[in-house]
């Protein structure tokens, strides 16, 4: 198994999008990219911890490639809005890829460069590409939030 970590706004919908992919063996929502150890939802919502709401994805590289996960990441959010996705705004909702090794970093940067050249988006991509650091699991009620409610997305 391998691990990937993505932030693309509210983690509920992001997690559900990744859970649907063949080869994804588990997902965990949580907080990463900030400075507060063991951050909680209440702390992250203040915007003072520096953390992003993120999804840690465990996957089988024999069934789904990291490149395919990155493609799904870009298909499921707007990477051109700084610190905002839909109605949610703040640094905790930023677009970010937290890479776990040099190969993931290279693939993430290559994907961004390819998307920029394709002009699929009308504005520049603002997705951060940063090394993965400590990941703090979110409270249990956030885990598989949409699946527990029988919802496919935040907007259904």
Instruction: For the domain covering 2-148, report its CATH number.
Output: 3.30.1060.10
- Supply the pLDDT for residue 80: 97
pTM: 0.94
Q: Catalytic site residues?
A: 10
Q: Determine whether 47 is exposed, middle or buried from the number of CB atoms within 10 Å of its CB (0-12, 13-18, 19+).
A: middle
Please, are residues 92 and 53 in contact by the beta-carbon 8 Å criterion?
A: yes
Instruction: Give the domain ranges of the chain.
Output: 2-148
Low-confidence ranges of the chain (pLDDT < 50): 156
The edge-to-edge listing of strands for the beta sheet with 95-99 is 128-131, 95-99, 2-8, 52-59, 24-32, 135-137
Give the integer Cα–Cα distance in Å for 33 and 36.
Answer: 9
- Supply the pLDDT for residue 156: 45
């Amino acid at each position: 198994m391998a691990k990937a970590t993505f932030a693309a706004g509210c983690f509920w919908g992001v997690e559900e999008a990744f859970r649907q992919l063949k080869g994804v063996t588990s997902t965990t929502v949580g907080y990463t990219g900030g400075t507060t150890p063991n951050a909680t939802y209440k702390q992250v919502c203040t915007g003072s911890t520096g953390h992003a709401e993120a999804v840690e994805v465990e996957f089988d590289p024999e069934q789904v490639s990291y490149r395919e996960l990155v493609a799904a990441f870009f298909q499921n959010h707007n990477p051109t809005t700084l610190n905002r996705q839909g109605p949610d705004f703040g640094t905790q909702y930023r677009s970010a890829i937290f890479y776990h090794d040099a190969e993931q970093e290279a693939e993430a940067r290559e994907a961004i460069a390819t998307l920029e050249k394709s002009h699929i988006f009308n504005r520049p991509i603002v997705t951060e590409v940063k090394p993965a650091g400590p990941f703090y699991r979110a409270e249990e009620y956030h885990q598989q939030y949409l699946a527990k409610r029988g919802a496919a997305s935040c907007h259904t």
